[in-house]
Amino acid sequence: MLGAEGEGFTIAMHSLDKGRVSVAAGCTGIIQGCLESVVTYSQERKQFGRPLASFQMILDMIAQISVDADAARLLTWRAADLTERGEPFGTEASKAKYFASEAAVKAANLALSAFGGYGYVDEYPVQKYMRDARVMTLYEGTSQIQKLLIGRAETGISAFL
């Protein structure tokens, strides 16, 4: 028998916490990939005789992705740092996983928009970022479950039965 009798669920749930930091790290990579793809493409692609990057709405997309990449990275580093130091990190892992996975979906969506039709076809990696990102909000605990955990940590009151 692994662990004490009756402790199995708690042990299993703790094992998910580290997985959530890994998912957050993967999502940070997706967001960074979206950023680099859009930056390069918007510098190269010209419409109306100007690079896409000279259009304000394209810069708005790039700015959103850039800030989210930094925020996801910093939340992930915090959770990873606590893990390495052997301190409690469950709530920080939930925050990192929740933010980074939702931000990865947003970044992939924005990147797809910035690429126009080329964002949808498999000539560029953007369509893959969208598929890769969407599942991240589901496994290792859905975004809804992360919010229940974060809310419980803030209030001390559990929505779980």
Is 5 tagged catalytic? no
Which of 145, 151, 152, 156 is the binder for ligand FAD (CB under 6 A)? 145
Q: Is 74 in the site for ligand FAD (CB under 6 A)?
A: no
- 40 near ligand FAD, rule: CB under 6 A: no
Q: Cβ distance 101 to 136 under 8 Å?
A: yes
By CB under 6 A, tell whether 142 contacts ligand FAD: yes
Residue placing its CB nearer to ligand FAD in the complex, 57 or 135: 135
88 DSSP 8-state letter: -
* Site membership for ligand FAD, residue 63 (CB under 6 A): no
Nearer to ligand FAD, 59 or 153 (CB): 153
Residues 100-139 that bind ligand FAD (CB under 6 A): 135, 138-139
Structure tokens at 14: 């703790």
Please check whether residue 102 is in contact with residue 137, taking contact to mean a CB–CB distance below 8 angstroms: yes
Least Cα distance to 30 among 147, 141, 146, 125 occurs for 125
Burial class (CB in 10 A: 0-12, 13-18, 19+), 85: exposed
Shorter beta-carbon distance to ligand FAD: residue 39 or 150: 150
Phi, psi of 46 (to 5 degrees): -115, 135
Q: How far is the CB of 14 from ligand FAD (least distance, A)?
A: 14
Rounded CA Rg of the chain: 19
Give yes or no for residue 16 binding ligand FAD (CB under 6 A): no
Catalytic positions, written as ranges: 140
